[in-house]
Structure 1
Amino acid sequence: MKQYPPKIIVAWGEAISGNEKIRDWLIKNNYPELAAFSSALNLNDDARSWLMKNGHPELLALVMGAEGDEKACNWLRSNGYSKLALMAEGADNNDEAIETLLKLGLKESVMLSMKMRGVKNAIQRDQDDWHTYSTR
Protein backbone atom coordinates (compact mmCIF):
# COMPACT_ATOMS: atom_id res chain seq x y z
CA MET A 1 0.00 0.00 0.00
CA LYS A 2 1.35 3.40 -0.85
CA GLN A 3 2.19 5.91 1.82
CA TYR A 4 -0.26 8.78 2.21
CA PRO A 5 0.42 12.28 3.57
CA PRO A 6 -1.20 13.10 6.94
CA LYS A 7 -3.77 15.37 5.27
CA ILE A 8 -4.94 12.46 3.10
CA ILE A 9 -5.12 10.10 6.10
CA VAL A 10 -7.41 12.60 7.85
CA ALA A 11 -9.53 12.93 4.69
CA TRP A 12 -9.74 9.14 4.42
CA GLY A 13 -10.98 8.99 8.02
CA GLU A 14 -13.65 11.56 7.23
CA ALA A 15 -14.73 9.58 4.16
CA ILE A 16 -14.93 6.42 6.27
CA SER A 17 -17.20 8.31 8.68
CA GLY A 18 -19.56 9.12 5.83
CA ASN A 19 -18.49 12.56 4.66
CA GLU A 20 -19.48 12.39 0.99
CA LYS A 21 -17.91 15.75 0.10
CA ILE A 22 -14.54 14.52 1.34
CA ARG A 23 -15.04 11.18 -0.41
CA ASP A 24 -15.67 13.04 -3.67
CA TRP A 25 -12.62 15.23 -2.99
CA LEU A 26 -10.49 12.09 -2.65
CA ILE A 27 -11.69 10.92 -6.07
CA LYS A 28 -10.97 14.28 -7.71
CA ASN A 29 -7.51 14.46 -6.13
CA ASN A 30 -6.24 11.09 -7.34
CA TYR A 31 -7.09 8.95 -4.32
CA PRO A 32 -10.01 6.95 -5.76
CA GLU A 33 -8.88 3.82 -3.91
CA LEU A 34 -9.56 5.49 -0.56
CA ALA A 35 -13.01 6.61 -1.70
CA ALA A 36 -13.72 3.10 -3.00
CA PHE A 37 -12.56 1.65 0.32
CA SER A 38 -15.06 3.84 2.17
CA SER A 39 -17.85 2.62 -0.09
CA ALA A 40 -16.70 -1.00 0.16
CA LEU A 41 -16.82 -0.76 3.96
CA ASN A 42 -20.46 0.27 3.55
CA LEU A 43 -21.26 -2.96 1.69
CA ASN A 44 -20.98 -1.56 -1.84
CA ASP A 45 -20.17 -4.56 -4.04
CA ASP A 46 -19.16 -2.38 -7.01
CA ALA A 47 -16.54 -0.67 -4.85
CA ARG A 48 -15.24 -4.04 -3.67
CA SER A 49 -14.88 -5.20 -7.27
CA TRP A 50 -13.23 -1.89 -8.22
CA LEU A 51 -10.58 -2.34 -5.51
CA MET A 52 -9.61 -5.75 -6.90
CA LYS A 53 -9.71 -4.72 -10.55
CA ASN A 54 -7.61 -1.64 -9.92
CA GLY A 55 -4.77 -3.22 -7.97
CA HIS A 56 -5.79 -2.64 -4.35
CA PRO A 57 -6.41 -6.14 -2.93
CA GLU A 58 -4.89 -5.05 0.38
CA LEU A 59 -7.67 -2.50 0.85
CA LEU A 60 -10.34 -5.09 0.12
CA ALA A 61 -8.64 -7.46 2.56
CA LEU A 62 -8.70 -4.64 5.14
CA VAL A 63 -12.49 -4.34 4.68
CA MET A 64 -12.97 -8.09 4.86
CA GLY A 65 -10.73 -8.39 7.91
CA ALA A 66 -12.73 -5.65 9.63
CA GLU A 67 -15.79 -7.80 8.99
CA GLY A 68 -14.16 -10.69 10.86
CA ASP A 69 -12.62 -12.63 7.99
CA GLU A 70 -9.53 -14.27 9.52
CA LYS A 71 -8.31 -15.43 6.11
CA ALA A 72 -8.17 -11.79 5.00
CA CYS A 73 -6.05 -10.87 8.03
CA ASN A 74 -3.77 -13.84 7.41
CA TRP A 75 -3.43 -12.79 3.75
CA LEU A 76 -2.51 -9.26 4.84
CA ARG A 77 0.20 -10.58 7.16
CA SER A 78 1.62 -13.03 4.63
CA ASN A 79 1.83 -10.28 2.00
CA GLY A 80 3.65 -7.70 4.11
CA TYR A 81 0.65 -5.75 5.39
CA SER A 82 0.88 -6.50 9.12
CA LYS A 83 -0.17 -2.96 10.03
CA LEU A 84 -3.33 -3.32 7.93
CA ALA A 85 -4.04 -6.68 9.59
CA LEU A 86 -3.87 -4.99 13.00
CA MET A 87 -6.13 -2.20 11.74
CA ALA A 88 -8.65 -4.78 10.50
CA GLU A 89 -8.58 -6.63 13.80
CA GLY A 90 -8.99 -3.38 15.69
CA ALA A 91 -11.97 -2.50 13.51
CA ASP A 92 -13.38 -5.93 14.36
CA ASN A 93 -13.48 -4.96 18.06
CA ASN A 94 -10.10 -6.44 19.01
CA ASP A 95 -8.78 -4.01 21.62
CA GLU A 96 -5.42 -5.80 21.80
CA ALA A 97 -4.81 -4.91 18.15
CA ILE A 98 -5.55 -1.25 18.97
CA GLU A 99 -3.14 -1.40 21.91
CA THR A 100 -0.44 -2.88 19.66
CA LEU A 101 -0.91 -0.10 17.11
CA LEU A 102 -0.62 2.47 19.90
CA LYS A 103 2.55 0.83 21.25
CA LEU A 104 4.00 1.03 17.74
CA GLY A 105 3.20 4.75 17.65
CA LEU A 106 0.68 4.36 14.82
CA LYS A 107 -1.93 6.85 16.04
CA GLU A 108 -3.29 7.52 12.55
CA SER A 109 -3.86 3.79 12.08
CA VAL A 110 -5.73 3.67 15.38
CA MET A 111 -7.92 6.58 14.28
CA LEU A 112 -8.77 4.87 11.00
CA SER A 113 -9.38 1.54 12.72
CA MET A 114 -11.75 3.10 15.23
CA LYS A 115 -13.67 4.90 12.48
CA MET A 116 -13.98 1.59 10.61
CA ARG A 117 -15.15 -0.06 13.84
CA GLY A 118 -17.89 2.53 14.23
CA VAL A 119 -19.16 1.99 10.69
CA LYS A 120 -18.94 -1.79 10.89
CA ASN A 121 -20.69 -1.94 14.25
CA ALA A 122 -23.47 0.39 13.06
CA ILE A 123 -24.07 -1.85 10.05
CA GLN A 124 -24.13 -4.90 12.32
CA ARG A 125 -26.61 -3.23 14.71
CA ASP A 126 -28.87 -2.45 11.74
CA GLN A 127 -28.63 -6.04 10.53
CA ASP A 128 -29.33 -7.45 14.00
CA ASP A 129 -32.36 -5.22 14.65
CA TRP A 130 -35.37 -6.83 13.04
CA HIS A 131 -37.05 -3.38 12.96
CA THR A 132 -34.47 -2.13 10.49
CA TYR A 133 -32.63 -3.36 7.46
CA SER A 134 -29.31 -1.82 6.52
CA THR A 135 -29.52 -0.25 3.08
CA ARG A 136 -25.83 0.56 2.91
Structure 2
Amino acid sequence: MQYPAKVLLAWGEAISGNREIRDWLMQNGFPELALTCHALQLDDSARSWLMANQHSHLMALVSGTEGNAQAIQWLDKFGFNYLKDVALGADNNDEAVTRLMKSGQREWAGIALKIRSVKNHIESENNDMHKISRR
Protein backbone atom coordinates (compact mmCIF):
# COMPACT_ATOMS: atom_id res chain seq x y z
CA MET A 1 0.00 0.00 0.00
CA GLN A 2 1.77 3.09 -1.23
CA TYR A 3 0.55 6.65 -1.42
CA PRO A 4 2.49 9.82 -2.21
CA ALA A 5 3.61 11.71 0.90
CA LYS A 6 1.28 14.61 0.01
CA VAL A 7 -1.71 12.26 -0.04
CA LEU A 8 -0.74 10.85 3.37
CA LEU A 9 -0.44 14.38 4.76
CA ALA A 10 -3.85 15.22 3.30
CA TRP A 11 -5.29 12.03 4.80
CA GLY A 12 -3.94 13.05 8.20
CA GLU A 13 -5.74 16.37 7.95
CA ALA A 14 -8.94 14.60 6.86
CA ILE A 15 -8.64 12.24 9.83
CA SER A 16 -8.39 15.30 12.08
CA GLY A 17 -11.69 16.57 10.74
CA ASN A 18 -10.90 18.67 7.67
CA ARG A 19 -14.02 17.99 5.59
CA GLU A 20 -12.78 19.82 2.50
CA ILE A 21 -9.71 17.63 2.28
CA ARG A 22 -11.75 14.50 3.05
CA ASP A 23 -14.09 15.41 0.19
CA TRP A 24 -11.10 16.07 -2.08
CA LEU A 25 -9.77 12.58 -1.31
CA MET A 26 -13.19 11.12 -2.13
CA GLN A 27 -13.40 12.93 -5.47
CA ASN A 28 -9.78 12.48 -6.59
CA GLY A 29 -9.17 8.77 -6.60
CA PHE A 30 -8.76 8.04 -2.90
CA PRO A 31 -12.27 7.11 -1.70
CA GLU A 32 -10.82 4.40 0.53
CA LEU A 33 -8.92 7.01 2.54
CA ALA A 34 -11.95 9.29 2.82
CA LEU A 35 -14.16 6.41 3.93
CA THR A 36 -11.55 5.25 6.44
CA CYS A 37 -12.03 8.66 8.09
CA HIS A 38 -15.73 7.86 8.44
CA ALA A 39 -14.99 4.32 9.64
CA LEU A 40 -12.78 5.75 12.39
CA GLN A 41 -15.83 7.75 13.50
CA LEU A 42 -17.80 4.49 13.93
CA ASP A 43 -19.71 4.80 10.63
CA ASP A 44 -20.94 1.27 9.84
CA SER A 45 -21.69 2.01 6.17
CA ALA A 46 -18.09 3.17 5.63
CA ARG A 47 -16.82 0.03 7.36
CA SER A 48 -18.99 -2.12 5.09
CA TRP A 49 -17.77 -0.25 2.01
CA LEU A 50 -14.13 -0.87 2.93
CA MET A 51 -14.77 -4.60 3.23
CA ALA A 52 -16.87 -4.82 0.07
CA ASN A 53 -14.33 -2.92 -2.04
CA GLN A 54 -11.14 -4.86 -1.33
CA HIS A 55 -9.83 -2.55 1.39
CA SER A 56 -9.88 -5.07 4.22
CA HIS A 57 -6.39 -3.88 5.20
CA LEU A 58 -7.84 -0.44 6.01
CA MET A 59 -10.70 -2.01 7.96
CA ALA A 60 -8.11 -4.07 9.86
CA LEU A 61 -6.29 -0.80 10.59
CA VAL A 62 -9.50 0.69 11.99
CA SER A 63 -10.22 -2.41 14.08
CA GLY A 64 -6.63 -2.50 15.29
CA THR A 65 -6.89 1.08 16.53
CA GLU A 66 -9.81 -0.12 18.65
CA GLY A 67 -7.69 -2.77 20.37
CA ASN A 68 -8.72 -5.73 18.19
CA ALA A 69 -5.77 -8.14 18.54
CA GLN A 70 -6.99 -10.31 15.66
CA ALA A 71 -6.86 -7.31 13.33
CA ILE A 72 -3.26 -6.64 14.39
CA GLN A 73 -2.37 -10.28 13.77
CA TRP A 74 -4.04 -10.14 10.34
CA LEU A 75 -2.05 -7.04 9.36
CA ASP A 76 1.15 -8.76 10.49
CA LYS A 77 0.33 -12.05 8.72
CA PHE A 78 -0.33 -10.35 5.39
CA GLY A 79 2.69 -8.05 5.50
CA PHE A 80 1.03 -4.74 6.33
CA ASN A 81 3.81 -3.87 8.78
CA TYR A 82 3.39 -0.11 8.61
CA LEU A 83 -0.36 -0.37 9.07
CA LYS A 84 0.16 -2.70 12.02
CA ASP A 85 2.36 -0.11 13.70
CA VAL A 86 -0.05 2.69 12.77
CA ALA A 87 -2.88 0.75 14.43
CA LEU A 88 -0.80 0.01 17.52
CA GLY A 89 0.43 3.60 17.70
CA ALA A 90 -3.10 4.91 17.36
CA ASP A 91 -4.07 2.59 20.23
CA ASN A 92 -1.60 4.48 22.47
CA ASN A 93 1.47 2.28 21.89
CA ASP A 94 4.36 4.76 21.81
CA GLU A 95 6.88 2.05 20.84
CA ALA A 96 5.01 1.48 17.57
CA VAL A 97 5.21 5.20 16.72
CA THR A 98 8.93 5.12 17.54
CA ARG A 99 9.40 2.13 15.20
CA LEU A 100 7.70 4.06 12.40
CA MET A 101 9.92 7.08 13.00
CA LYS A 102 13.11 5.01 13.17
CA SER A 103 12.24 3.28 9.89
CA GLY A 104 11.82 6.65 8.15
CA GLN A 105 8.03 6.49 8.02
CA ARG A 106 7.27 9.96 9.40
CA GLU A 107 4.03 10.30 7.46
CA TRP A 108 2.73 6.99 8.83
CA ALA A 109 3.77 8.00 12.36
CA GLY A 110 1.82 11.23 11.86
CA ILE A 111 -1.23 9.25 10.73
CA ALA A 112 -0.98 7.10 13.87
CA LEU A 113 -0.91 10.18 16.09
CA LYS A 114 -3.83 11.81 14.26
CA ILE A 115 -5.91 8.64 14.63
CA ARG A 116 -4.87 8.39 18.30
CA SER A 117 -6.17 11.88 18.93
CA VAL A 118 -9.51 11.12 17.26
CA LYS A 119 -9.97 7.75 18.98
CA ASN A 120 -9.00 9.10 22.40
CA HIS A 121 -11.49 11.95 21.95
CA ILE A 122 -14.25 9.49 21.04
CA GLU A 123 -13.37 7.36 24.06
CA SER A 124 -13.37 10.40 26.34
CA GLU A 125 -16.77 11.50 25.04
CA ASN A 126 -18.20 8.01 25.50
CA ASN A 127 -16.87 7.78 29.06
CA ASP A 128 -18.08 11.22 30.17
CA MET A 129 -21.20 10.55 32.21
CA HIS A 130 -22.22 14.21 31.83
CA LYS A 131 -22.59 13.91 28.07
CA ILE A 132 -24.97 11.91 25.95
CA SER A 133 -23.03 10.24 23.16
CA ARG A 134 -24.25 10.82 19.61
CA ARG A 135 -22.89 7.41 18.65
TM-score exceeds 0.5: yes
Separation in 1, partners of 2:21, 2:87:
22
Deviating above 6 A after TM superposition, structure 1's stretches of 4 or more consecutive aligned residues are none
Q: Letter of the aligned partner of 1:60 in structure 2?
A: M
In the TM superposition, 1:1-136 aligns within 5 A as 1=1, 3-135=2-134
Matched to 1:48, the amino acid is R
Please give the alpha-carbon distance, in whole angstroms, between the structure 2 residues aligned to 1:90 and 1:37. 17
- Look up the equivalent residue of 1:91 and give its one-letter code: A
How far does the alpha carbon of each residue in 1:105-131 deviate from its partner, in whole angstroms, 9 at most, with x for none?
Answer: 110011000000000000000011011
Deviation at 1:133, TM superposition (A): 3.2
- Give the Cα–Cα distance (whole angstroms) in 2 for the partners of residues 101 and 7 of structure 1: 17
Q: Which runs of 5+ in 1 are unaligned?
A: none
Q: How many residue pairs align between the two structures?
A: 135
Residues 52-110 of structure 1: CA deviation (Å, up to 9, x unaligned): 00110000000010011111000000011011001100000001111111111110011
CA RMSD of superposed structures (Å): 0.9
Deviation of 1:134 after TM superposition, in Å, equals 3.2
TM-score (norm 1): 0.96
1:18 is paired with a residue whose SS is: coil
TM value normalised by structure 2: 0.97
Amino acid at match of 2:69: E
Q: Which runs of 5+ in 2 are unaligned?
A: none
Following the alignment from structure 2 to structure 1, what is the Cα–Cα distance between the partners of residues 121 and 38? 14
- Where 1:134 maps in the other structure, the secondary structure is coil
Amino acid at match of 1:26: L
